[in-house]
Every structure is written in structure tokens, then in C-alpha cells.
Amino acid sequence: MAGTERVFLGVERSVGGRRWVHGLDAQAEAAALRIAQLHGLPELLGRVLAGRGVAADAAPAFLDPTIRALMPDPSSLTDMDRAARRLADAVERRERVAIFGDYDVDGAASAALLWRYLSHLGLAPQIRIPDRIVEGYGPNLDAMRALAAEASLIVTVDCGVSSHEAIAAASAAGADVVVLDHHQAGTTLPAAVAVVDPNRQDDLSGQGHLAAAGVVFVTLAAVSRELRRRGRAPGDLPDLFAWLDLVALATVCDVVPLIGFNRALVVKGLQVLRQQQNAGLRALARIARISGPLDSYHLGFLIGPRINAGGRIGEAHLGSRLLTIAEASEADALAEQLHVLNAERQAMEREMLADADAEATAEIGSGEGPPVLVIAREGWHPGIVGLIAARLKERHRRPAFAIAFDASGRGTGSGRSVGGYDLGRLVRRAVEAGILVKGGGHAMAAGITIERDRLGDFRAFVEAEAAREVRVLMAGEALRFDGAVSAGGLTLAFAETLERAGPFGSGHPQPLFALPRHRIQSAAPVGGGHVRAVLKAADGSTAAAMAFRAEDTELGRLLLGGRDRPVHVAGTVSIDHFRGQPSARLRIVDAAESID
């Protein structure tokens, strides 16, 4: 219970409106000490692991997760054996195979992974990515009929579980369809040869946290197993581990929980990524001016957005194309194109966010506001509404939808949720109630299509369905701290110790530390609405820090207007490789005035 947790540094309400609490209770404190003593680990590392529920005997495996230990039996996923047999048939018969993917990073990486596998085995698969604006999300009738005229097998990746009509049309046109998806499914599934989705209601595999690329990876392992059963020599089969960089990219960018098998996929995928064997990823890293070893931050904030830019405001196929290229010069040219598109996307996002945030702020007013923000505007670019929803969620700490209406009155929207509230379930209910034209997603993100005259109905439905759960989450919102440190303690060795417990992300949050009673020696806004600050401890040591997108927030105003004022600062620590020199970097996420 939030009320029984120990308050950290006496902060009942920070400038961000949150309560600060100890991340470890007495039992976890004892577990942290046991982890450190049992395995000869730094006490700091023991605290981080214990704070995330890692048992003492599981610590070594957690720090070095392996695919072999954590990968599920592919057959535990419903319909997997049927899908593996159909794909193995296609390989043996050298069939024409079409891959239909989503236009985001997970869809592009999933399509590229399947394409590389089939190409290695001598097939010539084609990839089809729908245009976000013209065709919308998922398989559509025209595209599936066209593919059925060219291919005997169509495999949908990161989509398809709700595409009953389009898949039926492809089947009627003579093509078999295999669905590889991870989105939440209704009680009725499309009439495909196989529907592999760990989030279908009759799947008991426990792998619902997988991104689509993770589902594809497990499926290809099942296909290889099936081909071996049929007499194919193991040496003739692809090395799936060589493509774990694609799986890591998708897993990080789709913001699925970095737990269990997902964690192993990302840890081992980063190792592959750092070898820079993929020409497209190598070109993107170069154009994004990434220095130092590639990590999950680079994937989520530098590489992923550039891949997404094609699907958002450019040509939808650019991302998957880049990830399948072998020629360096072609990869460089395509990476440059995506880089330019990403810059255009950033400019459009800034303009749209200013309008959206002003409307959200007015709607919330001085009260608690609606439990879920639903912000809509005509003329917005529908490819960017997901980013706007994410920003609104971050700023106002509640689920949010952003909807772009076209001139005909049809809206394309995207929603982002907070931990603990299942947005995919909410959208499914709205579709079942006839309020939305269509919609789907998973717990943390969802997409919708809505007519303008149903916007009021949707807002009322969201209020009725979400109010109680979301308000409970908001009331109990707190920052949980792994410990306290001074400016002088933010050393490279400190950051390196923390990174041993990484990579961090959804479901495995980055360790959070407080710098108690530090003075703001200097603070200034920098490009993009960020605030750079220098914090000074009582012993005179200093630490440079950055608060991202904070300039027009309460946190930014405190930093910019609090010179020489003693404050408690909350932040995360990582390693910065600026100009090839590694150093500890502090990212400020909250602050509170220090009261003597």
C-alpha cells in the first residue's frame, strides 16, 4: 500500500507532484546484503537487484541471462506447430512467400528477420508494408488480394490477429495465411492456417510480454526444428543468433517488459549489434553520431525514431528495406533519407505538441482533470499522433489519446498508457460497444479509428470505464529510490556498476537515486526544451546533469529559478561516451525543495 511505504527524504510531494518512497523495505534490504555477500558483488548492485525482486540464488543468471535457459519451448505457443509445418512446407517447395508487416520498428524488424531467414534458405520473399495514411494499420482487402495473386503463402508479422475480413479475402483468392502477432486478440480469430499470438485468449505459454520480433524469432526456431526433423542438415540452416540485433531493436522500441526471455533477447542482441554486421543499423548509428558501445538508449531514442520516420511521414517500406540491405552504399543513402525525414518529423511534432499540451492543460485546469486525456484536432498528421499521446502521458501522468481527423470526419488516433492500466482492453471494449470503427493494441499502447460524431461518446465511455482504476493509480503514484548519492559519488565506476544490472527499460526500470540537499550552481535551457544544470554538494563536489524536455515544466522552473537554493534532486545515472571519453551522466527526473 502506498500509504505504508517509507517516505524518502521526507518528500510527500515533489515539484512533479509525486511522493518519494524507499525502493527497498526491510526484507529487501536484507536480501540486498545477502546477494552482495553470496556472490561477491558490490553492495550497490545487490540493492538494485533486490529492489527488483531478484532472489539471491538467481542473481548470477539475472546478470548474465542466456537464450538457452530462458527460451520457451516453441510448441508451448498455441498454433506454433501448425505454423512451423506450413513455413517448412514453403521452404521445401520453394514457394512464393509474401510478408505483410506493420510500419513501426517492431513490424520492420520482424519483417526483416523473416525475410533474412527465408532468403538464406533460397526463397525470394517480398515484403509489403501498408501506407499509414492511405491504408491504415494491418492487412487490408486490396493488399491481401494483390499478394494472394503473387504468393501461395502470406505471413503477417506484428499485425493480423484482428484482420478477419482481409485474411478471409486472401484465403478465398487461393493463398494460405499465417499470422505472427503479439497484440491482444478477441474471442474470435481470423480464419488463417495458424494464428501464433501469445496474447490470444487460449494461449497458455506465458509469453505475452514478447514483441512481435520475439514471436517471429521463436517461430523461426520452430521452423528450423521442423526442417531438421525432415532431414535438413543443421549446417544448412540459418544461425538465428546472428540476427538477434533485430530482435533487440524491436523489443526495446516496442517498449515491452525487459523481463525473462525478453531480457535475454536484448542482452544477447546488443552483443550482436555491437559487432555492426547489419549494414542498415551500422549506417544509422553513423548518421546519428553515436559514440561508444551501442546500448538500449541508442536503440530507443536515436536509431528507432529514424526507422519509424519512414512509416510516420515518408514511405512505409523504408524501415524494413534498410534492415534487409547488404550493400553499404545503399544503406548509407537510405539512412540519410530516414535521417532527413526524422528531422521533419521532429519539427511537426513540436508544433502539434504545443497545441495538444495547451488543450490538455486547459482540460485538467486546477483540478484532477479527466482520468484519460482524449485530445483531437483536424489537420494533424496521423503518423505523429502516437508520439503526441506519449508526450501527453509523460507530462500529465495519465493515459492519453491523440486523434487526427481528416476533412471527411474520420479520425486516426493512438493511445499510450501508464503502468498498471490496460489500454488495449479499453479499446477492445469501445470497439465491441460500437463506438470505434476499429481499434486494437496491447496494455501500454493502442490504435483507433473513430468518426468525429462519436468523439463525445468515446470520451464519455473512457471516463466511465477508466475513472476508478486510473485515479487509484494516480493517487498511489510514487518515485521509488534505490538510494542516495552525492555529486562526488557520481563516478564512472559507479555508473559501470549500475550497468551490470542493465539493460533497463519497461518492466525493469533504471535505478533511481537522490542527491540530497544539493545547491543549483547553474542552470540554463538548451535546444529542444531541455535544461542543463550543475549541482553542488556540501563538500564542494559538483555534477553536471540534464533534465530532458523540462523547460516549460515545474521541474524546469525550479532548476532555472533556484540558483544557490538547496534542493533534493532525483535522477538516473548512465555512461556518456561524448567524444570517446566515458563519464557518468545524471538525468534529472524530479526535484523537491529541501526544508530545514
How far is residue 404's CA from residue 411's CA, in Å, rounded to a whole number?
5
CB atoms within 10 A of CB 443: 20
3-state secondary structure of 25: coil
Q: By the 8 A CB rule, do 147 and 405 touch?
A: no
What stretches of 88-146 adopt beta strand conformation (E)?
Answer: 97-101, 126-128
How far is residue 529's CA from residue 143's CA, in Å, rounded to a whole number?
42
Judge if 137 and 204 occupy the same domain.
Answer: yes
Which of 519, 575, 528 minimizes the C-alpha distance to 550? Answer: 528
Query: Would 260 be classed as within a structural domain?
Result: no
**Residue with grid cell 502506498, as numbered in its chain:** 2
Q: By the 8 A CB rule, do 482 and 511 touch?
A: yes
For 571, the domain range is 2-23+482-593
Burial group, residue 339, by CB count within 10 angstroms (0-12, 13-18, 19+): middle
Task: For residue 231, report the phi and psi dihedrals to the nearest 5 degrees.
Answer: 105, 0
Judge if 98 and 215 occupy the same domain.
Answer: yes
For 214-225, b where at least 16 C-beta lie within 10 A, e where not — what string?
bbbbbbbbbbbb
Query: Would 335 be classed as within a structural domain?
Result: no
Which of 207, 210, 219 minimizes the C-alpha distance to 88? Answer: 219
Judge if 516 and 551 occupy the same domain.
Answer: yes
Query: Would 585 be classed as within a structural domain?
Result: yes
Q: By the 8 A CB rule, do 109 and 243 touch?
A: no
pLDDT at residue 63, as a whole number: 95
Query: Would 41 be classed as within a structural domain?
Result: no
C-alpha cell at 320: 524494413
How far is residue 382's CA from residue 412's CA, in Å, rounded to a whole number?
6
520 Cβ contact list (under 8 Å, min separation 6): 533, 534, 535, 536, 559, 562, 563, 564, 565, 567
Judge if 456 and 395 occupy the same domain.
Answer: yes
Quick one: CA dihedral 190, 195, 198, 202, positive or negative? Answer: positive
**Residue with grid cell 534529472, as numbered in its chain:** 588
Burial group, residue 145, by CB count within 10 angstroms (0-12, 13-18, 19+): middle
How far is residue 33's CA from residue 45's CA, in Å, rounded to a whole number?
10
Query: Would 154 be classed as within a structural domain?
Result: yes
Query: Would 391 be classed as within a structural domain?
Result: yes
pLDDT at residue 596, as a whole number: 60
How far is residue 414's CA from residue 170's CA, in Å, rounded to a whole number?
27
Query: Would 512 be classed as within a structural domain?
Result: yes
Task: For residue 197, report the phi and psi dihedrals to the nearest 5 degrees.
Answer: -155, 110
Q: Residue-wise pLDDT tens for the chain (596 aa)?
A: 444 689 999 999 999 989 999 999 999 999 999 999 999 999 999 999 999 999 999 999 999 999 999 999 999 999 999 999 999 999 999 999 999 999 999 999 999 999 999 999 999 999 999 998 888 888 999 999 999 999 999 999 999 999 999 999 999 999 999 999 999 898 999 999 999 999 999 999 999 999 999 999 999 999 999 999 999 999 999 999 999 999 999 999 998 999 999 999 999 999 999 999 999 999 999 999 998 899 999 999 999 999 999 999 989 999 999 999 999 999 999 999 999 999 999 999 999 999 999 999 999 987 789 999 999 999 999 999 999 999 999 999 999 999 999 999 999 999 999 989 999 999 999 999 999 999 988 888 999 999 999 999 999 999 999 999 999 998 888 999 999 999 999 999 999 999 999 999 888 999 999 999 999 999 999 988 899 999 999 999 999 999 998 998 999 999 999 888 899 999 999 998 877 789 999 999 999 998 76
Task: For residue 383, report the phi and psi dihedrals to the nearest 5 degrees.
Answer: -75, -10
Task: For residue 94, report the phi and psi dihedrals to the nearest 5 degrees.
Answer: 55, 50
Picking from 241, 274, 308, the residue at the C-terminal end of a domain is: 241
Judge if 153 and 208 occupy the same domain.
Answer: yes
How far is residue 486's CA from residue 517's CA, in Å, rounded to a whole number?
9
**How many separate helices (H) and strands (E) can be counted in the chain?**
21, 18
Judge if 429 and 530 occupy the same domain.
Answer: no
Picking from 445, 475, 505, the residue at the C-terminal end of a domain is: 475
Sheet of 410-416: strands edge to edge? 373-378, 400-405, 410-416, 445-451, 438-441
CB atoms within 10 A of CB 496: 12
Judge if 494 and 519 occupy the same domain.
Answer: yes
C-alpha angle 404/405/408, rounded to 5°?
Answer: 155
Judge if 529 and 450 occupy the same domain.
Answer: no
State the CATH number of the domain containing residue 198: 3.90.1640.30
C-alpha cell at 134: 492511405
State the CATH number of the domain containing residue 580: 2.40.50.140
Q: By the 8 A CB rule, do 516 and 9 touch?
A: yes
State the CATH number of the domain containing residue 466: 3.10.310.30
Left (φ > 0), alpha (ψ -120 to 50) or beta: where does 407 sit?
Answer: alpha
Number of domains in the chain: 3
Picking from 456, 475, 494, the residue at the C-terminal end of a domain is: 475
C-alpha angle 380/384/388, rounded to 5°?
Answer: 90
Judge if 379 and 438 occupy the same domain.
Answer: yes
First to last CA, the chain: 28
Judge if 119 and 182 occupy the same domain.
Answer: yes
pLDDT at residue 528, as a whole number: 80
Judge if 82 and 227 occupy the same domain.
Answer: yes
**Residue with grid cell 488480394, as numbered in its chain:** 145
215 Cβ contact list (under 8 Å, min separation 6): 77, 110, 180, 181, 182, 196, 197, 198, 207
pLDDT at residue 1, as a whole number: 41
pLDDT at residue 135, as a whole number: 87
Judge if 464 and 510 occupy the same domain.
Answer: no
C-alpha cell at 3: 500509504
CB atoms within 10 A of CB 595: 9
Query: Would 257 be classed as within a structural domain?
Result: no
For residue 19, CA distances in Å to 48, 119, 213, 481 come to: 20, 53, 37, 11
Which of 181, 270, 219, 255 minimizes the C-alpha distance to 71? Answer: 219
